[in-house]
Amino acid sequence: MISHPMVKIHVIDQNTGLYVKKEHRNRAVSSFYEQERVENVLPIMTQPYDFKHFKSRLPEWEEQIVFNERFSYFLQVSEESPRVILFFEILDFLSMDEAKANSEVQVQESGFRKIAWAFLKLVGANGVLNINGKLRLQLYCPPPRIRSQLNVVKVFEWWSKCPRIRYPSTLYVTIKGLKLPDHVDPSFRSMMALQQEQGSTSYCELQKETSKGGNEPVVEEKEIIKWSKLPGQVCRIPNKHLFSLHTGDRGCFCINFSQNGRMLAAACAGHDGYPVILYEIPSGHYLRELCGHLNIVYDLCWSKDDQHLLTASSDSTVRMWKIESQSRSAVKVFPHPSFVYTAKFHPVAGYLVVTGCYDSVIRVWNGKVKEVHGQLLQEFDGHKSFINSLCFDTEGLHMYSGDSSGLIIVWNTLVRENEQHPVRLWNINKEIRENDIKGIPISHLEVHPNGRRLLIHAKDSTLRIMDLRMLSTRKYLGAANYREKIHSTLTPCGTFLFAGSEDGIAYVWNPETGDQVAMYSDLSFTSPLRDVAFHPHEHMVAFCAFGQNEPVLVYIYDYKVAQQQAEMVKDFNGSLTTIGTHRNPLIFNNSSAVQDTVASATDQFVNDATMSMRMKKVKKKLETVTDSSNLLLPAPSLFSPHSKFRLSDTMGTHLIPQHPFTTQSGAFSPVGKSTQITSSILQMNDDTPVSLPKRIGALPGPETQNCQSVKEFIQTHLLHTRIERDLKVVI
């Protein structure tokens, strides 16, 4: 009887059968408190899975185990480098009866019962890397007790010497490199090698307090926030509206969370000016305004220590603001001859500021000077069109710039310590000219957290992620963007891709598969959704739009809402099995889907009557339009700009109507790729597994192919689509 299974991960060298030696002895790889005499990479164990708590017979840990070691060190293929094999042991606690029955086993197995094991070679026999994708590993039964060698790890001995008896189950794992955070807040319990354990008051703090005189004021330190997202944990898709933040009369153009996640900067616009407003996170309280720009602020960038904020504006200036200072004016101003669309701090040499301007020139400035105006160090030519976006990799070795002609230039941007001429070695590494985006403006560039891919957001309603080694791209469709400057972003773990759209909807994809996994269809934006920012340490996302009185909307992941959505999907699955091909719409209302209390019979009657009247009005409009026209084409407003609809006998098969799941969180809609409802498990360490649908699509076959006329087809399409407002059909 298995009650609390857990997974123990071993990093073994195939050459020796021992744990892989650390590349640097003084680096903590598995635990924060590793001492220098620990020369090998120690194993790490997941949290136990409680079947009773999660009410599931299928254990799903969904944990991110982090080894603080250079990823390429595990992938090297040479005589001196280790040949790394990962072993996964499924363990369970020994019960009291088992411990009493055989105390020798308890001592030998260290209080754990071995259930199954699996292995994975990071570099296969044919040289293929088994990384950056979900892998399914066969589990094997532990062999009977054998005489163990003292100089090898037991699970390695099973793999090398014993026959493998298959266990009737498999284990899904994903191995990939991660960009580690620059700073991890201390916690009561360290969860990774970079996180320090700290109580409410440390011994040093107590000593300082006792040594202080009674009349000296005590300076309170900033409160440590305990985020719900654990360090290294995979990000969740926020599903609950947390709060709305006031911006200005004309809305907000761009937003950005600080590196520590405690502040949100919003570049707003109003009749009186273009202030940058700072809000405290997670409370959402107003902090202050940074006033000085005379036109739209296009870009925001926080320094590594959150002491300074960089703002780029179309008033031909870039300004640097000191956050702790109460001064309302900028501490540095970098003047330009024209509009400035982007500005970034160098990730290693924080005093260097790089800007991209309308005059197609990249400028590098020194912000560490006494004068108010920054010192111009160098100008770089290479672009023939205005520069919209800049970004660096984590180490600051390369910079990527994109312009309005679709050209991307990779720059060498190495900065050495104590260099008198820090940009002396800067030059063009290569130019990337993609035929797909030739002549199409690039709105946004962002380096993937693993450092090997580049997010490209262009004005052709297509997002791309490019492999920087092979220069191959994966495309993501769904968000409309042909005219406006719109941003997208990757979550800190790289698991999800968020993007705004000109239709005011936010879209979410899985970058690995290309599937659209969610959409925010009811954000109440009447203007294009300009920017998306994901919190660096929390399951939180912010959206903004540039339009009349558009607020900043902040969403957070809520376990209860996810549970309610899972129940809705379960009910919806049951409904599909009973209705067959019946064409009545499946609509989930705020009033009945996820409220804490069940609606009364009267309320339910009113809701049903209202929906029935709404459907009748739509039918009447459609009958009027279709009867008065001979052109058998549906309205352009029903489709995305890149719909491939063509007139044919099976015209319905080109369309996949979606059914948004409207909740109290503001119409967060999980969607996906398949043409029927399938589920994808999202789970936290201490949450119940939640199944969200990957896609709700039109049923193929007779559902669309048997339409006798375009009138019937359009009615069928609309009845399977949620209609919230008056519909205008133009033929």
The CATH number assigned to the domain holding 48 equals 2.60.40
pLDDT digits (tens, 9 = 90+) for 663-696: 444 556 565 433 333 333 333 334 434 333 333 3
Single residue among 145, 174, 203 that ends a domain in this structure: 174
pLDDT at 475: 95
Distance in angstroms (rounded) separating the CA atoms of residues 731 and 729: 7
**Which range is most confident: 62-76, 148-162, 176-190, 323-337?**
323-337
Instruction: Give yes or no for residue 643 having a pLDDT over 50.
Output: no
**Which range is most confident: 58-67, 252-261, 706-715?**
252-261
State whether 512 and 624 are in the same domain: no
Distance in angstroms (rounded) separating the CA atoms of residues 563 and 692: 9
| Paired strand residues for 362 | 356, 380
Single residue among 557, 591, 619 that ends a domain in this structure: 557
- Taking CA atoms, 622 is separated from 136, 585, 614, in Å, by 50, 16, 13
pLDDT at 489: 97
Distance in angstroms (rounded) separating the CA atoms of residues 10 and 114: 14
pLDDT at 443: 95
pLDDT at 150: 61
Q: Is residue 314 part of a domain?
A: yes
State whether 598 and 523 are in the same domain: no
State whether 607 and 553 are in the same domain: no
pLDDT at 457: 97
pLDDT at 620: 67
Instruction: Give yes or no for residue 152 having a pLDDT over 90.
Output: no
Distance in angstroms (rounded) separating the CA atoms of residues 599 and 604: 6
Distance in angstroms (rounded) separating the CA atoms of residues 370 and 680: 56
Higher-confidence position of 131 and 709: 131
The Cα angle at residue 694 between residues 689 and 695, in degrees rounded to 5: 145
Q: Grade residue 204 by pLDDT with cuts at 50, 70 and 90.
A: low
Contact assessment for residue 717 and residue 622, using Cβ atoms and an 8 Å cutoff: no
pLDDT at 208: 54
Secondary element (H or E) of residue 447: strand 442-447
pLDDT digits (tens, 9 = 90+) for 253-275: 999 999 999 999 999 998 888 99
Instruction: Give yes or no for residue 633 having a pLDDT over 80.
Output: no
**What are the contacts of 346-349 at 24+ separation with CB within 8 A?**
346/392, 346/396, 346/413, 346/415, 347/304, 347/392, 347/393, 347/394, 347/395, 347/396, 348/395, 348/396, 348/415, 349/396, 349/415, 349/422
pLDDT at 206: 53
Q: Supply the CATH number for residue 502's domain.
A: 2.130.10.10
State whether 163 and 251 are in the same domain: no
pLDDT at 289: 92
Instruction: Give yes or no for residue 320 having a pLDDT over 50.
Output: yes
pLDDT digits (tens, 9 = 90+) for 448-496: 999 999 999 999 999 999 999 999 999 999 999 999 999 999 999 999 9
Q: Is residue 194 part of a domain?
A: no
pLDDT digits (tens, 9 = 90+) for 508-521: 999 999 999 999 98
pLDDT at 495: 94
What is the percent of the chain with per-residue pLDDT over 70, rounded to a whole number?
A: 68
Minimum mean pLDDT range among 271-285, 468-482, 648-662: 648-662
Structural domain containing residue 72: 6-174
State whether 589 and 536 are in the same domain: no
Q: Look at residues 342, 460, 457, 472 and name the one whose alpha carbon lies nearest to residue 399.
A: 342
**Which range is most confident: 2-6, 145-149, 291-295?**
291-295
Tell me how crowded residue 262 is: count the other CB atoms within 10 A of its CB: 18
State whether 479 and 587 are in the same domain: no
Instruction: Give yes or no for residue 525 having a pLDDT over 70.
Output: yes
Burial class, 580, CB count within 10 angstroms (exposed 0-12 / middle 13-18 / buried 19+) = exposed
State whether 11 and 159 are in the same domain: yes
Q: Is residue 364 part of a domain?
A: yes
354 three-state secondary structure: strand
Higher-confidence position of 550 and 692: 550
Q: Grade residue 659 by pLDDT with cuts at 50, 70 and 90.
A: very low
Q: Is residue 278 part of a domain?
A: yes
Q: Is residue 347 part of a domain?
A: yes
Single residue among 174, 193, 219 that ends a domain in this structure: 174
Q: Is residue 623 part of a domain?
A: yes
User: How many CA atoms are closer than 13 Å to the CA of 394, on its beta-carbon side?
Assistant: 13
State whether 538 and 602 are in the same domain: no
pLDDT at 696: 35
Higher-confidence position of 511 and 84: 511
pLDDT at 126: 80
State whether 549 and 596 are in the same domain: no
State whether 62 and 168 are in the same domain: yes
Q: Is residue 202 part of a domain?
A: no
Minimum mean pLDDT range among 266-275, 402-411, 611-620: 611-620
Secondary element (H or E) of residue 545: strand 540-545
State whether 494 and 600 are in the same domain: no
If one counts the domains in the chain, the total is 3
pLDDT at 22: 80
pLDDT digits (tens, 9 = 90+) for 9-50: 898 888 888 888 887 777 777 766 666 677 788 888 888 887
Contacts of 42 (CB under 8 A, 6+ apart): 19, 29, 30, 31, 34
Minimum mean pLDDT range among 126-135, 449-458, 542-551, 555-564: 126-135
The Cα angle at residue 436 between residues 431 and 439, in degrees rounded to 5: 70
Instruction: Give yes or no for residue 366 having a pLDDT over 50.
Output: yes
- Sheet of 387-392: strand order equals 387-392, 398-403, 407-412, 427-433
Distance in angstroms (rounded) separating the CA atoms of residues 680 and 673: 12
Quote the mean pLDDT of the chain.
77
State whether 617 and 486 are in the same domain: no
Identity of residue 335 = P
SS (H, E, C) 662-716: CCCCCCEEECCCCCCCCEEEECCCCCCCEEEECCCCCCCCHHHHCCCCHHHHHHH
**Which token pair is 576?**
């599909």
Minimum mean pLDDT range among 95-104, 162-171, 234-243, 625-634: 625-634
pLDDT at 25: 73
Q: Is residue 156 part of a domain?
A: yes
Contact assessment for residue 458 and residue 443, using Cβ atoms and an 8 Å cutoff: yes
**What are the contacts of 671-676 at 24+ separation with CB within 8 A?**
671/516, 671/517, 671/518, 671/519, 671/695, 671/696, 672/515, 672/516, 672/517, 673/513, 673/514, 673/515, 673/516, 675/699, 675/700, 676/576
